[in-house]
Structure 1
Amino acid sequence: MPHASDFSDNPAVAGVAASGIAFRVVEHGPVRGPAEAAAARGMAVSDVVKTIVVRLGEGDYRFVLLPLDRVISWPKLRALLGVARMSMPDAATAKDATGFERGTITPFGSSTAWPVIADERIRGREISLGGGRHGVALAVSADAAIAALDATVADISEPEPPSSKG
């Protein structure tokens, strides 16, 4: 089992350690898709949480935490934030806003502490979040993470639509 000290150069691990909540670092190889990500982390797909960066305006972002088997409900999120429009930045802009590459993003240790919105479905379980590097995840209590991040919790998602891939 890796220790936090093994990742002293990883701002995500430093950020979650600084928050004071209990966590585990989970290392795994490359994954393709939700099922592989969950299996690599020893969790159900619904317990693997993706961090999505949304842009409300110039220099104004939010972290959105969703189970891997859900997608953002844009009407619900716009209503919660009281905005008419928002967008998802491209990979380079997301990295500039967070310090993390897409696929590794987490609110813990981000270069800017953007407000966090968590889908209500993550409460009450152990979840894993991006760990700041590819192949690294952070396993935490969702409730402890929500408290540490002062996250707004709301119903902001809908089921992942069926894949059209054959």
Structure 2
Amino acid sequence: MTSAPETPETPETPATRALAASGIEFEVTAHGPVRSLEEAAEARGLEPRQILKTLVVRRGEDDFLFVLVPGDRQISWPKLREHLGVSRLSMPDKDTARDVTGYERGTITPFGSSPSPAGTPWPVIADALIVSREGPVSIGGGAHGVAASVHPAQLVEVLEATVADVTEPA
């Protein structure tokens, strides 16, 4: 995989710029609007399990993190709370998620997102299944219908993600 140059079909976004700057190998896919994870997988030529959902989770006031979840899975709240050593977690509403990441729901990605108030990237937790499965994974590209296919191990490394079992079947 190589970074794709900007074309009319592959718009440049903060996410694609951050991907390029990271040095990770990636391939941008741009497609029209989709209404479901299954449609997104089909448009990208991948299986639903290869599509990563980037979810924003709130630990506390101004304390957020990203959780990368395979498309065929969902967060297991008990597992995530145990992993983080907290008794309470929540998901922000769409406006708060946009305010803290710089992206609308459906386009959120750790790449190019707004930094924390301290100016550092948000922590990332990647579900363990992401790195145990074969083939590329697809992560949001920062705009509707834009995604990047990457190697899971490179993704985890460049994001300095913590790998943990934090999901369950959808």
The answer to whether the superposition gives a TM-score over 0.5 is yes
Q: CA deviation at 1:51?
A: 0.1
- The match for 2:146 is 136
Q: Which one is further off, 5-14 or 20-29?
A: 5-14
The CA RMSD over aligned residues, in Å, is 1.6
Picking from 29, 37, 53, the partner of 1:34 is 37
Q: Is the 1:4–1:13 contact (alpha carbons within 8 Å) kept by the matching residues of 2?
A: no
Distance (Å, rounded) in 1 between the aligned partners of 2:102 and 2:159:
17
Distance (Å, rounded) in 1 between the aligned partners of 2:12 and 2:37:
27
Q: Does 2:161 match 1:151?
A: yes
Distance (Å, rounded) in 1 between the aligned partners of 2:50 and 2:105:
19
- The match for 1:58 is 61
Picking from 14, 24, 34, the partner of 1:21 is 24
How many residues get paired?
160
Q: CA deviation at 1:5?
A: 3.5
Distance (Å, rounded) in 1 between the aligned partners of 2:62 and 2:12:
26
- The match for 1:163 is none
Picking from 71, 78, 83, the partner of 1:80 is 83
Name structure 2 gaps, 5 residues minimum.
116-120
- The match for 2:4 is 3
Letter of the structure 2 residue corresponding to residue 136 of structure 1: V
Distance (Å, rounded) in 2 between the aligned partners of 1:3 and 1:121:
27
Letter of the structure 2 residue corresponding to residue 33 of structure 1: S
Q: CA deviation at 1:3?
A: 2.9
TM-score computed with the length of structure 1 as normaliser: 0.92
Distance (Å, rounded) in 1 between the aligned partners of 2:128 and 2:12:
32
CA deviations on 1:124-162 (whole Å, 9 max, x unpaired) are 5310011100010011111101000000001100000xx
Report the identity percentage.
56
- For 2:90, what is the secondary structure of its paired residue? coil
